[in-house]
Chains A and B, each alone.
Chain A
Amino acid sequence: MSEIMRCKEYRERLHLQIDGGAAAGAEAAMRAHAAGCASCVLFLEQSTALDAMLRDLGRAPVPLPALSSVRDIPLRPRPLPWLPDVLRAAAAIVPAVLVWAGRALLPEAIEFLTPAAIAFAGAFIIVTAALRPRLLGSSV
């Protein structure tokens, strides 16, 4: 660890230390820095106080009418629940059909059709991935 620690680094490490995640071996350099930096000592005091205040925020009860309104939300099944499966299948099948049809019907154009099919599949996957949150909501 360098014997010279800048204020920025000290403050970043201090917050890590408050969270219990400071790397071992940094304490000595931090103590050395704090010994010669009054503003960082003040920052240490303020950060500790702020941390205590943030831990002390507590939770408010949910207003009963709001809770009731959530419990009474009309539960309707998602429209078109099969849509994700169809989109995934289409991304695989459509390019394959294009290539197959190209080979059978336009053998002279196959050199053009194969990259076109691959480009189509790529664009399709990108577009459906981009629209996925809108179409399907968040998922993990």
Chain B
Amino acid sequence: MRPEGLRYGCLAAGPGLAYHQQTITGNGVPERAEFNAIVDRFAERVYNHALRMLNNREDAEEAMQDVFLRVHRSFGTFRGDAEFSTWLWRITVNVCLSRRGSRWKRRERIQVERISDDIPDDAPGPDELLSRREERRRIAVLIARLPGREAAALTLYYMEELDYATIGRILRIPPGSVATALHRGRERLGKMLRAERE
């Protein structure tokens, strides 16, 4: 049997692994301190992934809450065959896809909400800043309009900087299909951008 500490290998690079290991209860359910350490480590990434996939702040917040709730409830079923982060991303992608699906079922259009306030502000000149922010905002809106697999692959590739193999493990598809999803996603995104400009 795999030693308990190795199940949370993702935390090895983080602070206080020894403490986390001590607080894991016998059935693999994390204590509050360990759970909060995981939340602190991954919340921003999970939130931003949900924001790109759903393009709606409220939905992204709810999705993040749902992800961490599932992480806690499913800790006992994490078999440790993959990295913890792969497991977490799989849950995140599933939650976001499911929310996109239920929104579609309710026949709600993906809300083109102004999320430009959520775009980081780091460009120098005012004109350049404005155009870069506008471009980022448009791209963020358009990513949420892509088919689920393409949006997930693009978000994992560009925001999380994961390689094809890891994205494939998360989406349960071969690396070749990841390349295809990324290619199609970028092609579609380019077409949508051009259509908006015209």
Contact = CB atoms under 8 A, between A and B. Distances in A.
A139 B193 contact: no
Contacts of A43: 190
A75 B64 contact: no
A140 B64 contact: no
A81 interface: yes
B179 A50 contact: no
A108 B57 CA distance: 67
Interface string B162-190: 00100000000000000110110011011
Interface in A45-61: 46-47, 50-51, 53-61
Contacts of B91: 137-138
B122 A15 contact: no
B48 A15 contact: no
Contacts of A127: none
A71 B36 contact: yes
Interface residues of A, number: 38
Nearest to B60: A66
A12 interface: yes
B79 A140 contact: yes
B120 interface: yes
A62 B47 CA distance: 7
A11 B82 contact: no
Interface of A: 11-12, 15-16, 19, 21, 43, 46-47, 50-51, 53-63, 66-67, 69-71, 73, 75, 77-78, 81, 84, 136-140
Interface of B: 27, 29-32, 35-36, 39, 43-45, 47-48, 51-52, 57, 61, 64-65, 68-70, 72-74, 76-82, 86-87, 90-91, 94, 115, 118-120, 122, 132, 135-136, 139-140, 154, 157-159, 164, 179-180, 182-183, 186-187, 189-190, 193-194
